[in-house]
């Protein structure tokens, strides 16, 4: 299952020296509900020594969403060494996410 990101753990997780995938989502968002299970699958499939799959609820963690200019959800940010390397907006196929992760590791 994808790890929940909060203001308390965000910096520690994103700066842990791994590729970190952050799914910005909300409970009321239908496309988010489509991509949520894919993120959970990825969390169980990736090499956790190299990649961390996370979810950030924009309603509960507004400051994080504001800091990263999240205006549409789902938005998936890909971090490496604490820096945003790429972003995908909208519900996309799992293969697209896997390919992006593989580019970064």
- The whole-angstrom separation of Cα 46 and Cα 25 is 21
**Which phi and psi angles does 40 have, rounded to 5°?**
-65, -40
Domains in the chain: how many in total? 1
Contact of 76 with 84, CB cutoff 8 Å: no
Task: Name the pLDDT band for 80 (thresholds 50, 70, 90).
Answer: very high
Mean pLDDT across the stretch 67-73? 97
CATH number at 96 reads 3.40.30.10
Q: What is this structure's pTM?
A: 0.96
- The tokens describing 74, both together, are 């789902």
Domain limits for position 11: 3-104
Positions marked active-site: 29, 32
Peptide bond into 41 cis (omega under 30): no
């Amino acid at each position: 299952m994808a790890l929940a990101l909060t203001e308390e753990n965000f910096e520690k997780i994103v700066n842990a020296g791994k590729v970190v995938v952050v799914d910005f989502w909300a409970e009321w968002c239908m496309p988010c509900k489509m991509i949520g299970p894919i993120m959970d699958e990825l969390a169980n499939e990736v090499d956790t020594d190299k990649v961390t799959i996370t979810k950030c609820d924009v309603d509960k963690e507004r400051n994080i969403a504001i800091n990263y200019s999240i205006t549409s959800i789902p938005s998936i940010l890909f971090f490496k060494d604490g820096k945003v390397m790429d972003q995908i907006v909208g519900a996309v196929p799992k293969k697209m996410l896997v390919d992006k992760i593989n580019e970064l590791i």
